[in-house]
Amino acid sequence: MTTSDTTHRFDAAIALAPLDEGTYTGSTHPDYGNMVGPFGGIIGAALLNAIMQHPQRLGDPLSLTVHFAAPIADGGFTVEAKAIRTNRSTQHWYVTLVQDDQVAAFATAVTAVRRDTWHGLDAVFPDVPPAAAIAPMPAIARAAWTASYEMRFVSGLPGAPDSASDSSESRLWLRDQPARPLDFLSLAALCDAFFPRIFVRRPKWVAIGTVALTTYFHADAAQLAAQGSAPVLGRARALNFRQGFFDQTAEVWSETGDLLASTHQVVYFKE
C-alpha cells in the first residue's frame, strides 16, 4: 500500500497492504465516511480489491454480492479473499472483512473471462438531458462520501420537502469527484451511491442501512477504459417497502448507451 499526495482519494480509500497470499490490511478513509461508519460502496470496493490483487485471479468481475453484517468502526481492518472454485472461464470467490476478531462484512463474487458472442440489449437508455445541462447537487455535510461524487439529478432528488411521491425513481448523472477514470472498483462503489429509495418516496429521514448488495458487471475492461472519467447515467428505483426492509435496483449507463452495470440491494429501515 503506497499512497502519495497525488493518489486519488478513492485509491487511497480502497488501498490494501498484503500480509500473506489473499490476506491484506486496510483502513476506513474520512473522505468516504457516512453518517455512522464508512459508506458501504467503499467497503464493497475494498473487498473486490482483495480479489483484483489476488495472484490467482482469473478474468474480470462479473458479479459481486456484499453483506454488511455489522456496523464497521472507523479504523483498520483485515481482508481475506479465497477462490472457492476455479473453472475454465469462471472463478467463484468468498471474501471477509474482519474487525476486532469478528466478520463485519463479507462478499461473494464471480470473475470471468469474456468472449465475443451474440448480443442483445433489452434495457432502454433513459430519456434525459446531458450532464452538462444540470447543476451538481451540493454535498451533504453529515455524509462525507457525498462530496466524493458529483451528482446531477434529472429527477428524484431525495429529501426534498415535496418528495412524497408514488415513485421512488431517480435519474442522475454521476462520477467520482475529483474526476477519475472508471474501472471495476470505482464502478462497484458507485453502484451503492444511489440514495436510499425511502428518502425519495417519503419526505422523512429515518435510520437506514444496506443489508446486502449485488452488482452485475455488464461492461468489460475495454468498455470501462473507453468511458474514461465521463459521467455515467444512473436510474434507481424500489419495488416494495414493508416490515422494516425495502429493496432497490439501479442501472448504470455510459453516455453512449452502453449498460455498464445493474445492481440490487435490500435495505433495513427503522420505521
| Least gap, CB of 113 to a copy of itself (angstroms) | 9
68, β-bridge pairs: 105
Q: Least distance from C-beta 123 to a copy of itself, angstroms?
A: 4
d(CA 153, CA 174) in angstroms, rounded, equals 8
Q: Which is nearer to a copy of itself, 1 or 103 (CB)?
A: 103
Distance CA 221, CA 185 (A): 11
CB of 86 to a copy of itself, least distance (A): 9
Q: Residue 140 Cβ, how far from a copy of itself at the closest point, in Å?
A: 23
8 A C-beta contact, residue 224 and residue 260:
yes
Cα 84 to Cα 228: distance, rounded to the nearest angstrom: 33
Q: How far is the CB of 183 from a copy of itself (least distance, A)?
A: 17
Of 5 and 122, CB closest to a copy of itself: 122
Q: Of 8 and 202, which CB lies nearer to a copy of itself in the complex structure?
A: 202
| Measured CA distances, 49 to 3, 16, 183 (Å) | 15, 8, 11
Nearest distance in Å: CB 156, a copy of itself: 12
> Hey, what amino acid is at 90?
T
Nine cell digits for residue 253: 449507463
The residues that touch a copy of itself, with contacts defined as CB under 8 A, are 62-63, 65, 67, 69-70, 84-85, 87, 89-90, 92, 94, 96, 102-104, 106, 108, 110, 112, 114-123, 166-168, 201-202, 211-212, 214, 216, 218, 220, 237-245, 247, 249, 251, 259, 262, 264, 266, 268-271
Residue 125 cell numbers, joined:
437508455
Nearer of residues 18 and 94 to a copy of itself, judged by Cβ = 94
**Which residue, 180 or 241, is less far from a copy of itself as judged by CB?**
241
Nearer to a copy of itself by Cβ, of 5 and 100: the residue is 100
Q: In sequence order, which residues have a C-beta less than 8 Å from that of residue 28 and are 6 or more positions away?
A: 13, 37, 38, 42, 72, 73, 74, 75, 77
Residues pairing with 109 in the sheet: 64, 93
